[in-house]
């Protein structure tokens, strides 16, 4: 005789203040007809005593057949970890069972979670305008994401298009945006290649840039700003104070921040209310700099 019981669950979490639906499947792997009684027992570990149980009517399962059963359990009075065991019994003998731990939680105020995406490439061009690396563009059109085309920047805007109503926080660094705009308008070149504006690689950049603008315009993303090129602000402020040039550093950071916010607004259409503070390095001088620039909040990452 070969029989298998398997609990089915979408989540290990069960709400306390409403009925929880528990399902399990019984599979007859043998060649004989099975008849027996399915049941579910709920226990509070480490106790082995039942806290709840549900007994089903006797069912018969043909050879190679299976049956799926469900029950709604009232979990009021239970909280924390529980063990749910589903069994199939015949003539006082348990033929098969399966058990799983769940956590019963009481619902409180909703937790608001912000998903923040950080897209940055440092300025890769030399004073001559020639690019030393193609990273700002490679991550647009070059990738191997199953079910998506292009690289991670392209995948991100495709996710927005596939999930209407999804809203997140997007940080496109000013230096990345500037390189995209320059490529769309003039193409780009490295020491080895020259890529004109009509090239498929540049058109892929234009498509992502246009999509990012549309997402921002439709309210699909809260835009984050930043200084132009991912300067580690806290470190710069700390070291400049040690060397007696703190005032100059604060002036330069303020200028770079205003320039970064201007670029984001010019390229994507909205002036950010918040900014990205790079590399988890904070300094209290940033409070005044941000406030005077009209920044309302920061993400420290």
- pLDDT reported for residue 19: 84
Residue 235 is predicted with a pLDDT of 97
Count Cα atoms within 13 angstroms, Cβ side, for 44. 8
Pick from 34, 96, 27: which is nearest to 66 by CA?
27
Q: Which two tokens stand for residue 9?
A: 């669950």
Stated pTM of the model: 0.69
Which residues, 6+ apart, have CB-to-CB distance to 274 below 8 Å?
Answer: 169, 222, 224, 225, 295, 296, 297, 298, 299
The sign of the dihedral angle between the CA atoms of 232, 234, 237, 238 is negative
Contact indicator for 32, 63 with CB cutoff of 8 Å = yes
Cβ within 8 Å of residue 167, ≥6 positions away: 219, 220, 221, 222
Is beta strand 194-195 parallel, antiparallel or unpaired with respect to 221-225?
unpaired
Residues 6+ apart with CB under 8 A from 113: none
3-state helix, strand, coil in the chain (%, to 5): 30, 35, 35
> Residues of the chain whose pLDDT is less than 70?
1
How far apart CA 110 and CA 168 sit, in angstroms, is 17
User: Cβ(229)–Cβ(175) under 8 Å?
Assistant: yes
Alpha-carbon distance of 263 to 120, in angstroms, equals 14
What's the confidence (pLDDT) of residue 242? 97
DSSP summary character for residue 205: H
Six token digits for residue 69: 């059963």
DSSP-derived 3-state class of residue 197: coil
Rounded distance, CA 148 to CA 158, Å? 8
Category of 251 on φ-ψ map: left (φ > 0), alpha (ψ -120 to 50) or beta = alpha
Q: Mark 97-109 as b/e (b = at least 16 C-beta within 10 Å).
A: bbebebebeeeee
- DSSP conformation class of 198: T
pLDDT of res. 140: 97
The full set of domains in the chain, from first to last, is: 3-105 (2.60.40.10), 116-300 (3.20.110.10)
């Amino acid at each position: 005789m070969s029989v298998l019981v398997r609990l089915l669950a979408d989540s290990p979490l069960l709400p306390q203040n409403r009925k929880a639906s528990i399902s399990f499947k019984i599979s007859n792997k043998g060649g004989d007809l099975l008849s027996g009684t399915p049941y579910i027992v709920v226990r509070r570990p480490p106790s082995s005593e039942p806290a709840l149980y549900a007994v089903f009517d006797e069912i018969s399962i043909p050879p190679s057949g299976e049956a799926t059963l469900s029950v709604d359990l009232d979990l009021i009075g239970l909280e924390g970890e529980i063990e749910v065991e589903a069994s199939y019994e015949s003539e006082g003998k348990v033929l098969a069972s399966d058990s799983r731990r769940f956590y019963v939680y009481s619902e409180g105020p909703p937790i608001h979670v912000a998903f923040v995406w950080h897209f940055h490439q440092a300025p890769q061009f030399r004073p001559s305008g020639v690019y030393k690396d193609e990273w700002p563009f490679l991550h647009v059109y070059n990738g191997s994401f199953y079910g998506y085309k292009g690289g991670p920047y392209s995948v991100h805007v495709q996710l927005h298009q596939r999930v209407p109503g999804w809203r997140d926080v997007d940080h496109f660094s000013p230096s990345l945006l500037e390189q995209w705009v320059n490529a769309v308008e003039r193409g780009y070149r490295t020491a080895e290649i020259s890529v004109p504006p009509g090239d498929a690689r540049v058109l892929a950049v234009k498509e992502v840039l246009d999509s990012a603008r549309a997402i921002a315009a439709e309210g699909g993303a809260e835009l984050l700003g930043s200084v132009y090129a991912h300067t580690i602000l806290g470190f710069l402020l700390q070291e400049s104070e040690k060397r007696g040039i703190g005032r100059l550093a604060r002036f330069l950071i303020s200028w770079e921040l205003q320039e970064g916010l201007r670029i984001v607004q010019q390229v994507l259409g909205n002036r950010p209310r918040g900014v990205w503070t790079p590399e988890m390095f904070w300094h209290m001088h940033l409070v005044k700099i941000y406030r005077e620039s009209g920044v309302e909040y920061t993400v420290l990452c």
